[in-house]
Structures are given as C-alpha cells and as structure tokens.
Amino acid sequence: MMQDIPDLENLKKQDHQAFQRLVEKYNRQIVVVARAIIGDSLAEEVTQEAWVSVYRALPSFEGRSSIKTWIFTIVSNEAKTRLRKESRLVRINEMEEVIPAYLNGERFNNDGSWSSPPPLWDIESPEKILENEQLRQCIEKTIELLPDVQKSVFLLRDIEQQSLEEICNILDISNSNVRVLLHRARVRLMQIIDQYQETGQC
C-alpha cells in the first residue's frame, strides 16, 4: 500500500500530526543511515538530534530537493559532525564482508562460464513473491541482517529511490563503493529467493 505524500503545507507550519506521520514514515530509514555513518551505539542519539533539527528547520524548507532527500541530508550531517567529535570511532570497513556465492567465483568455471547457473523460479512475478508470506519474511530478515553500510546503500537506492550521487553524498562514500555494496545486497537477496524457490525454505 502506498503511503501518502508528506503534507508539506502543514509540515512547514510544524503541525503535530503531519510531523508525527513524517516520523512514522522515515524513522526506520533515518536510523539505518545514522548507523551506517556513526555505528550502532550512537545511532539512536544522532537520530533523535536529527529529528529535532528537522523539526526546527521545517518552516524554512524550500523544496529544492524532495523532503526525504532533505531529511536524509540532515541526519547525514548530524552523524558526520558527531563522527568528527568522537575521534575514537573508526568507520568499519565493510568491503571485507562475506561475498555472495554468485560474486565470489564459486559458481563459475575457470574460463568464466557458468558451472552452477541460476535456477529457474516457479514464482515469477514480484506480486506473487510478496504474496508468499514466508518468502516475504525471508526477504525482510535478509535486509535486516545486511551489514550496516550495505543496508543503508540498498535501502536508499532500491526502497527510497535516491540517486547514486545523492547516496554518495549522504553516506560520504565513493560512487564505486556504492555500486559494489548495492550489487552485493541485491545479489544476496536474489540468492535467498533462489534458495526458497529450490528448497521451500530459507
């Protein structure tokens, strides 16, 4: 079910209900973005600070970007400022996480041809896949368990439809890293769907 488009007119007036709906709609995503930049322990605190900033700045929101891009930028700035203050924190290098089997070479012969090609899917439409409650839960759980930065890239791109350039700015990582992390996340989900279609579980 599609959510309503944020009610800009009332948001700019700092209307309570409009603001509450905005928090309902974006709080999860904001925590994910904060966590990707500053780590788990401070993510909630930064999220709270970001919402205060959003609330204060709403009357001056000019609509030069979409409101969600604007909110993601605010939380990103809060998290980056905090990161500079907390010099003991080092950003985790997630390029070293486990690589999905499709991408680590194990499904290919030495000449680069498939040794273990993708299996056929019985359930072949997005609607049918999502109607399958068990499979839907598998997908949600897999997204939940993605490493922090990868999850954030994936969520911003494939769920929130932000551009690659916006994602680079929000998370302060290079275009090539964004693309690598995004691809790994998508392929990991695809493997879960493969597994479900082959075995009936995941």
Q: Which sign, positive or negative, has the C-alpha torsion 176, 145, 155, 189? A: positive
Q: Does 55 bind other proteins (CB under 8 A)?
A: yes
End-to-end CA distance of the chain: 26
Longest pairwise C-alpha distance within the chain = 63
Binding mask 100-139 for other proteins (x = CB under 8 A): --xx-x--x--xxxx--xx-xx--xxxx-xx-----x--x
Of 91 and 108, which CB lies nearer to other proteins in the complex structure?
108
Of 50 and 91, which CB lies nearer to other proteins in the complex structure?
50
Q: Does 60 bind other proteins (CB under 8 A)?
A: no
User: What CA–CA distances, in Å, run from 155 to 33, 100, 148?
Assistant: 9, 18, 10
Residue 39 neighbours by CB under 8 Å, 6+ apart: 89, 91, 92, 148
Q: Does 72 bind other proteins (CB under 8 A)?
A: no
SS3 of residue 193 by DSSP: helix
Q: Does 189 bind other proteins (CB under 8 A)?
A: yes
Interface with other proteins (CB under 8 A): 1-3, 14-16, 19-20, 23-28, 47-48, 51-52, 55-56, 102-103, 105, 108, 111-114, 117-118, 120-121, 124-127, 129-130, 136, 139-140, 143, 154, 157-161, 164, 179, 182-183, 186-187, 189-190, 193-194
